[in-house]
Amino acid sequence: MKTIQSHLPFKEEEVTLLEDTHTSDTYDLVVFNDDYNTFDHVINTLIKVCGHTPEQAEQCTWIIHFKGKCSVKKGYFEELAPMRQGICDRGISAEIL
Q: What's the confidence (pLDDT) of residue 7?
A: 54
Given a contact cutoff of 8 angstroms between Cβ atoms, the answer to whether 45 and 64 are in contact is no
- What is the C-alpha to C-alpha distance for residues 80 and 9, in angstroms, rounded to an integer? 51
pLDDT of residue 94: 98
Q: Looking at the domain that runs over 22-96, which CATH code has it been given?
A: 3.30.1390.10
Residue 34 DSSP SS3: coil
Residue-level pLDDT at 1 = 45
Of 24, 67, 59, the closest CA to residue 42 belongs to 59
- Of 89, 75, 90, the C-alpha closest to 30 is 75
Q: What is the pTM of this model?
A: 0.75
pLDDT at residue 15 in the model? 56
The pLDDT value recorded for residue 2 is 46
pLDDT tens for each residue of 10-48: 556 565 655 555 456 899 999 999 999 999 999 999 999
